[in-house]
Amino acid sequence: MSGIAAEAVTARLGSRTVLDAVDLRVEPGELVALVGPNGAGKTTLLRVLAGELTPQSGRVVLDDAPLASYRALELARRRAVLPQATSVEFAFTAHEVVEMGRAPHIGTAGMADDAEVIAWAMDSTDCAHLAGREFRTLSGGEQGRVNLARVLAQRTSYLLLDEPTAALDLRHQELVMALAASRARAGCGVAAVVHDLNLAAAYADRVGMLFDGRLLALGSPRDVLTAERLTEVYAYAVTVLEHPTRGCPLIVPMEPLAATGALVPQPMEGPIRSVS
């Protein structure tokens, strides 16, 4: 059975349990969005799926074999990982960074397509024009897209993306999520940590809601992203409307005062002295 799956994964960092018996399978052809408040365990789950973190119990299975049984190179040919942020030491250009995504295919038949694949990856992420720039001089959003292009250039069956839309402007957020969805249409299994619930609602085939280390809900965006659940999980009142054109839920936060009140900043005690 193909797919990448976490089976009863429990992970602890120090004494804190950050993942508690989580089961999640990402199948080829689907985009699974992982959502949840800060500290819910989204990134940890992605790192466990990527093999960066070995869970205390449970295991990760990739295409029917335990993750631990793969050599790094075999893994690199099957799945690509986009971490939250990647710093590049030394003055490599954006093109060179994307080219690094082709490294797992050196010495294989796939090598012949290198130039084509790199061009496609950079076009898809709208960073072809950055090709000759030094990576370190790019803005955060530009760096993010170049890194995504590098991950795409790996041409793997599975993509594990940690906040691929972070630091991107609105247009690029949509573009990147559409790209992730199109990779899924093309047969890839894609898991993405997404903070923007509307992006998850619009593009994901399934949404996994993590809260306090547990997978609270997993299913279609419409089933998972309900007003009650979101209000409880995020401790903030939201309402869910129907998106006017996309045929998906639209999550809208309510006024600040309608929430519990705990999140409203209280004035500091005592007068604030002005510096004359």
Partner 1 sequence: MAIANATAPARPLPARVEPTVRRVPAPVLLVALGVAVVVLIVASVSIGEFHVHWLDVVRVIGAHLGIGSDDSVPIAARTVVWQVRVPRTLLALTVGAGLALAGAALQGIFRNPLADPGIVGVSSGAALGAVVSIVLGVGSLGSWSTPFAAFLGALAVSILIYRFARRNGRTEVVTLILTGIALNAIVAACIGFLTTQANDQQLRSIVFWNLGSFANARWRYVAISSTLVAFGLLTLPRLARRLDLLALGEREARHLGVETDELRRAVIVIAAVVVGGCVAVSGIIAFVGLVVPHLVRLAAGPGHRLLLPASALGGAALLMLADLGARTVVAPKELPLGVVTSGFGGVFFLWLLLSVRRAQGGWG
Listed ranges 38-46, 55-63, 132-140, 205-213: which one lies at the site for partner 1 (CB under 8 A): 132-140
**Based on the number of CB atoms within 10 Å of its own CB, is 213 exposed (0-12), middle (13-18) or buried (19 or more)?**
buried
Q: Select 14 or 244, whichever has its Cβ closest to partner 1.
A: 244
Q: What sections of the chain are H helices per DSSP?
A: 42-50, 72-78, 94-100, 114-124, 140-153, 170-185, 197-203, 221-224, 227-234
Measured from the CB of residue 88, what is the shortest distance to partner 1 in angstroms?
Answer: 6
Q: How far apart are CA 113 and CA 170, in angstroms?
A: 32
Measured from the CB of residue 230, what is the shortest distance to partner 1 in angstroms?
Answer: 19
Letters for 185-224 (x = contact with partner 1 by CB under 8 A, - = none) are ----------------------------------------
Pick out residues in 226-245 that bind partner 1 (CB under 8 A). Answer: 241, 244-245
Letters for 100-129 (x = contact with partner 1 by CB under 8 A, - = none) are xx-xx-x-------------------x--x
SS (H, E, C) 242-269: ECCCCCCEEEEECCHHHCCCCCCCCCCC
Contact status: 175 vs partner 1 (CB under 8 A) = yes
Measured from the CB of residue 218, what is the shortest distance to partner 1 in angstroms?
Answer: 25
Torsion angle, alpha carbons of 215, 59, 220, 185, to 10: 150
Number of residues that bind partner 1 (CB under 8 A): 42
Q: Select 42 or 77, whichever has its Cβ closest to partner 1.
A: 77
Listed ranges 31-39, 60-68, 80-88, 186-194: which one lies at the site for partner 1 (CB under 8 A): 80-88
Listed ranges 10-18, 66-74, 190-198, 254-262: which one lies at the site for partner 1 (CB under 8 A): 66-74
Handedness of CA 210, 216, 220, 222 (dihedral sign): negative
Q: Are strands 65-66 and 214-219 parallel, antiparallel or unpaired?
A: unpaired
Contact status: 72 vs partner 1 (CB under 8 A) = yes
Measured from the CB of residue 252, what is the shortest distance to partner 1 in angstroms?
Answer: 10
Measured from the CB of residue 120, what is the shortest distance to partner 1 in angstroms?
Answer: 15
Degrees to nearest 5, angle at CA 181 with 53 and 110? 70
Quickly count: other Cβ atoms within 10 Å of residue 96's Cβ. Answer: 17
Q: Which of 27, 29, 58, 86 touches partner 1 by CB under 8 A?
A: 86
Three-class secondary structure of residue 191 per DSSP: strand
What CA–CA distances, in Å, run from 243 to 111, 180, 248, 250, 262? Answer: 43, 20, 5, 5, 30
Q: Which of 23, 52, 223, 232 touches partner 1 by CB under 8 A?
A: 52
Degrees to nearest 5, angle at CA 105 with 119 and 145? 40
Give contact residues for partner 1 (rule: CB under 8 A).
Answer: 50, 52, 71-77, 80-81, 83, 86-93, 96-97, 100-101, 103-104, 106, 126, 129-134, 136, 154, 171, 174-175, 241, 244-245
